[in-house]
Amino acid sequence: MLNTIAPGAGAGIIVKKGERLKVICPEGHQVSDMFCFSESDYGESLSSSVSVDRAEKIFLSAGDVLVSNRGNVMLKILGDTHGRSDFLLPPCRESENGHTGCFENLSSTFLAYGISADRVGTAFNIFMNVEVSAEGRLVIHPSEARSGDYVEFEAQMDLVVGLTACAHLLTNGGSLRPIQWEILPQNA
């Protein structure tokens, strides 16, 4: 079943070990922020730097894994038609947007599971287009995702996933669009 996250909104998704989560950019040029916790122990959550360390690179794609603060693999990237996602910048906030941001959307999603907003860390920025200069300067460009681009993950443990249709105007080329997702059964 294909689910749609409205522009600027978020969703909470339970993904069981072995299931696949497909995150789709239906109209192109739209970023999706993803953060997650182990469903069996909320003390274990996604770690940007441990994931980057494992990959030995900033931009993660098919074949790379997303790793927890305890060093365990949470998600494996099975497929990626776009090829550019990162952990560089934090979820956008109401204080910078002037309207509800990914941080607020992720926080309210996880609060429904009893997880404090303080535990929402650096999200995986799917389809995001951040330029890193030779001197390490960061410049946000509009997402270059095309209509239908997707990233498919396979859960390596039971997870509570928070997913957004990013609410930051610059990141998404000046207007907000939906994100779609679906759960697919374990690969045979």
Establish if 188 lies at the interface with a copy of itself (CB under 8 A): no
Distance CA 155, CA 138 (A): 30
**CB nearer a copy of itself, residue 24 or residue 77:** 77
Q: Which stretch binds a copy of itself (CB under 8 A): 25-33, 54-62, 146-154, 158-166?
A: 54-62
- One of 16, 17, 57, 146 touching a copy of itself (CB under 8 A): 57
Site string for a copy of itself, 159-178 (x = CB under 8 A): --------------------
Type of residue at 5: I
Total binding residues for a copy of itself by CB under 8 A? 35
Contact 20, 152 (CB under 8 A): yes
Contact positions with a copy of itself (CB under 8 A) in 122-141: 122, 132, 134-139
Rounded CA gap, 9 and 21, in Å? 18
* Secondary structure (3-state) at 150: strand
Give the shortest CB-31-to-a copy of itself separation in angstroms.
14
Q: Note the maximum CA span of the chain.
A: 46
Output the six-digit token pair for 122.
């650096």
How far apart CA 157 and CA 84 sit, in angstroms, is 24
**Interface positions with a copy of itself (CB under 8 A):** 43-45, 47-50, 52-53, 56-59, 69-71, 86-90, 93, 95, 116, 118, 120-122, 132, 134-139
